[in-house]
Amino acid sequence: MKLKIKNKIKRFVKFLISIKYSYKCSVCKIKIKDYLPLPDIYRKKCLQQGYKYFGENEHLNIRKYTCPNCKASDRDRFYAAFFSKIEKITKNSKKALLHVAPSWPLNNNYLIKHFNVTTTDLMMPKVDYQLDVEKMMSFEKDKFDYLICSHVLEHVNNPDKALVELLRVLKPGGKAVLMAPINPNIESTIEDPSHTTKEERLQFYGQEDHLRLFAKQDFMNRIEKAGFILETYGIEEFGKKIFHRLGLRESSVLYIGKKI
């Protein structure tokens, strides 16, 4: 009788813990009480310049943006879950991965434990190669099993050229995580070369160093036009439970380009 009571108490305690720590970061694998919101300074800067689309980004969860333990963003957690849950990548897989404009929380807490990682960016310090994503001639054709190009294509002069170059360095059968801020509520990508000041770019694109704001269909079309086979993964593929645990917005979609 006493043993039964003790077991019930243990189960109840586990239940209370599961409620209190209902989130678990896929990057650092730590259970947490809650994620941290996006700093409000971003909203204030956008509104100050008259940006009218703040909060409409398809995969940005403003309220649950950062892991308090490892500082991984919501999209970082999305990518780690893709590799673990969808691709079934195990630790020390020896797969070659190119990380463009690396997110260091994702890179240092997850990727380097699972892949043979090469980092590259034109401006960032401490990367392995300082290269323009539109012209990465330091890498031979068919070099990488995977690559991540996240929140880069809205910055570059020619995203279509960059996509072709990313396809070139990917191995046949390889997959590319291709992500950018996407507004699903606009019909056409907003892009104007005459917007050269920080104030104009904040007003039209939501960030002072962005050169465009992608519409959903246009972004998908560009991936396919470059020669990728497009695969998409959202809440239906991952499940509501995983989306909740990772603090992901329910509208989040992962865009994967596969090389045939």
Per-residue pLDDT tens over the stretch 44-55: 999 999 999 999
Closest by CA to 201, choosing from 51, 56, 53, 58, is 51
Predicted pLDDT of residue 13: 47
pLDDT tens digit string along 34-44?
999 999 999 99
CA gyration radius, the chain: 20
Predicted pLDDT of residue 260: 97
The DSSP result for 64-75, as a single string, is T-B-TTT--BHH
63 in Cβ contact with 71 (< 8 Å)? no
Q: What mean pLDDT comes out for the span 231-236?
A: 98
pLDDT-derived band of residue 16, with 50, 70 and 90 as boundaries?
very low
Q: What average pLDDT does the structure give for the chain?
A: 94
Phi, psi of 15 (to 5 degrees): -65, -45
Q: What mean pLDDT comes out for the span 182-202?
A: 97
pLDDT-derived band of residue 7, with 50, 70 and 90 as boundaries?
confident
H helical segments located in 49-206: 74-81, 104-106, 112-114, 159-169, 198-205
pLDDT-derived band of residue 171, with 50, 70 and 90 as boundaries?
very high
Q: CA separation (Å) from 212 to 61, 84, 110, 206?
A: 20, 31, 30, 9
Residue 11 pLDDT exceeds 70: no
Q: What mean pLDDT comes out for the span 231-235?
A: 98
Q: What mean pLDDT comes out for the span 205-232?
A: 98
CATH hierarchy code of domain 25-258: 3.40.50.150
pLDDT tens digit string along 102-129?
999 999 999 999 999 999 999 999 999 9
Give the pTM. Answer: 0.92
Residue 209 pLDDT exceeds 60: yes
Q: What mean pLDDT comes out for the span 223-228?
A: 98
Residue 101 pLDDT exceeds 70: yes
Q: What mean pLDDT comes out for the span 70-97?
A: 98
Residue 221 pLDDT exceeds 80: yes
Residue 92 pLDDT exceeds 90: yes
Dist CA 48 CA 20 (whole Å): 37
Residue whose pair of structure tokens reads 């700093």 in the numeric block: 39
